[in-house]
Structure 1
Amino acid sequence: MDTSLETIGQQATAAAYVLGQADTAIKNQALLAMADALLTHQDAILQANANDMAKAAENQVRQVMLDRLLLTEARITAMADGLRQVATLPDPIGEVVAGWRTPNNLDVKQVRVPLGVIGMIYEARPNVTVDAAALTLKAGNAVVLRGGKEAIETNIALSDTLRQALVQVGLPKDSVQLLHDTSHETANALMQLTAYLDVLIPRGSANFIKMVLKTATVPVIETGAGNCHIYVAEDAAIPEAIAIIINAKTQRPSVCNAMEKLVVNQAIAPTLLPQLAQALAPYNVTLKGDAQACEILPDIELATEADWGTEYNDLILAIKVVSDIDAAITHINRYNTKHSEAIITNNYQYSQQFTKQIDAAVVYVNASTRFTDGFEFGFGAEIGISTQKLHARGPMGLPALTSTKYIVNGDGQIRA
């Protein structure tokens, strides 16, 4: 494959035109072929991933980041399952969003159409390669992928596998293209490829996404750093609260929907926090807290101002004790990244106030923030979790990868 961006852009544009005309059956056939191909070529993919993992370990990549990079048989099976689930989802292309007749008898329809060519730029998360290919294809788009250098061998193995499956069903292999050059210069050039890219979707750390927003001239859908909070109200059931907190913090601490901050009502804090600290001890979670939390848990570190706005992506949890729900909401809205926030309470009024006043893409009542995920929401997979408010918000499934056009039918009308 010619690796020049000009050629890649031209190939993507040509592939997008074909995909835009493709019917649902052939797109679903491609998704199923891609799923089968992942399992058929599993050994080669795992070997490529082992090479990436070895290099990352040599470069002293943090353990939580290694977890993002790691592929296993189970994770490849999950990728294949995601492809198959996307194949079962309704095709958004051609959906009539709205329709009406004007006073002069023009029939107007608003119809979903593909965005065109989508650029994806992301860090060491090879599952994004498959998720992005699946969703963009089903929505009739071509995709140009630029993953992180830590995952380059894995991403090449994955993208080559997906491209071979596309050819088998008669769709353009260039519907999915991966940049093999992971240099910053090539990444910057991709961010400014306005002649060919219709939109750019970054996935990674807060600093990474800020860099993309600063550099890109291609329109960007901002996806999510996750400084996620859980607020425990004074009436919460402590066993339920502890179970939710452990899940949200420890199941996969490196992901954007993991909880980073705990906000606790002062009435329940003296009872909850010692039990929580004991429950978290086997998971080796480092606890930090404000002055009130440190009074209750004298052995924890005093949190700094910088802690409240930090996405740790690690087994670190900062605790804030507040006087009431209003103070909790004020604190969360000040420091959150508009990703996912949760309240644990049995008070209906509290739950309603929290869901109405918290500014975030997803707000939970009595559930872990870890459910903010396209697969968990029934989307099959996700292209990312949007934390902005224009075009798309929250986990982005198929409809988020479309635009609309108006189709107007008349019978000779002219405007006076």
Structure 2
Amino acid sequence: MTEAVTINPTELIAEMGRRARAAATVLALAPTATKAAALRAAAQAMRAEEATILAANGEDMARGAVNGLSGAMLDRLKLTPERIEAIAAGLEAVAGLTDPVGQEIDRAARPNGLLLTRVRVPLGVVGIIYESRPNVTADAGGLAMMAGNAAILRGGSEARGSNHAIHAALQQGLAVAGLPEDAIQLVPVSDRAAVGAMLTAAGLIDIIIPRGGKSLVARVQAEAKVPVLAHLDGIVHLYIDKAADPEMARTIALNAKMRRTGICGATETLLIDRAFADPAPILSTIADSGCELRGTDEIRAIEPRAVAATAEDWDTEYLDAILSATLVDGVDGAMAHIAAHGSHHTDAIVTDDAVTAERFLNEVDSAIVAWNASTQFADGGEFGLGAEIGIATGRLHARGPVALEGLTTYKWLVRGSGQTRA
């Protein structure tokens, strides 16, 4: 797609921001049924335009291969009929969720007769900056709109054709429902200066959500003049406790790493209790699957195909068929390792000891903590949220998969009968 390279990025984002603000005013008051109708129509448009979307994605994939994108990045970029159907179904799932806008959080009657209520309201204009995965165009745009927000989307240049094709389907859905097409806008240029313009668009954009690699998130956090809802590294751990069922541990470990290696919920470090009876079947299964194991001397003594791990391995999000592994001294050793090297994203324990499991669940400080389940369940769709705009690893506003509720804030409504304050 030809870019309008003469456009000044700051002026472009300012104009998009003004249009988004006007659309957000409409969306904040739009009925739930109207917003849902837009998403369902967008889903049907995606199905109808499958061939167009796949053709655009094919061009992106070919260009990515020429430009040396890794296998994991190409997997994140790739669309198939099944993945397009999953995106469309995700939009329909979001359309069927409870609308948070206007929900009453709580109420209280004061002794002076004032009635106070807190109700959910949209954030306003949400800027989403993301890389590689074209499904984010639909997920982020659809979620933001259903929560009453206008969205300004800036996808990565590697997916520009796919993003534009998916965005066209979203625009069709908005038009069918009679909502302003400015409700979901896609930045039409790949100029990195457009990102900088979004980060400094205070008063036009209310919150920035970055979804991508460490360098992108670091830039957003360093330069942003508007609030940021950050998704940092997915340095995800799976701990096999001494009381784990061996077959369950083997099955979960394989799935947690190898189901899809390029997603943020993929396990990157395997921790095994030194008291676990037989780690060899777990390690050999992972090695047999084509995964490169990087381990300590103890791990290499158990699985000779493992290569020596370096200090950097414990702090690396591979997003590839690579897994670091080490033995630890029980749950305390596992939690100490996670505290030292984790990114507060997702961590899991496999054990039949409920007491140990509850300690792990309560003491590990991550957005998602799991017991006897694959870390690959770290996904808004799997949580019943329809889709997600990202997984927030910070502490403020929202944490874990961010979906409809996470894209709202609240305001206080005060109803009186003539009260004045002394």
Task: Tell me the TM-score normalized by structure 1.
Answer: 0.97
Deviations 1:244-302 (A, max 9, x none): 01101001101100000000111226x22x21233123421000111221222234211
Indicate yes or no: 2:300 matched with 1:297: no
Q: Residues 4-403 of structure 1: matches in 2 within 5 Å?
A: 4-268=12-276, 271-272=278-279, 274-403=280-409
Distance 2:327 2:284 in 1: 18
Could you tell which deviates more after superposition, 161-170 or 256-265? 161-170
8 Å Cα contact 1:224-1:384 kept in structure 2:
no
**AA at the equivalent of 1:220:** V
1:21 counterpart SS class: coil
8 Å Cα contact 1:11-1:174 kept in structure 2:
yes
Cα deviation for residue 356 of structure 1 reads 1.2
8 Å Cα contact 1:222-1:386 kept in structure 2:
yes
8 Å Cα contact 1:12-1:144 kept in structure 2:
yes
Distance 2:215 2:326 in 1: 24
Percentage identity across paired residues of the two chains? 42
Distance 1:335 1:378 in 2: 29
Cα deviation for residue 206 of structure 1 reads 2.3
Distance 1:412 1:276 in 2: 71
Distance 1:97 1:280 in 2: 46
8 Å Cα contact 2:141-2:184 kept in structure 1:
yes
**AA at the equivalent of 1:135:** L
Unmatched 5+ stretches in structure 1: none
1:318 counterpart SS class: strand
Deviations 1:35-61 (A, max 9, x none): 111111111111111110010011111
Cα deviation for residue 7 of structure 1 reads 0.9
1:144 counterpart SS class: strand
Distance 1:298 1:154 in 2: 43
**AA at the equivalent of 2:397:** H
**AA at the equivalent of 2:152:** V
Distance 1:228 1:14 in 2: 40
8 Å Cα contact 1:117-1:199 kept in structure 2:
yes
Unmatched 5+ stretches in structure 2: none
**AA at the equivalent of 1:283:** S
Cα deviation for residue 158 of structure 1 reads 1.0
**AA at the equivalent of 1:395:** P
8 Å Cα contact 1:309-1:335 kept in structure 2:
yes
Task: Tell me the TM-score normalized by structure 2.
Answer: 0.96
Aligned length: 414
Distance 2:108 2:346 in 1: 37
**AA at the equivalent of 1:7:** E
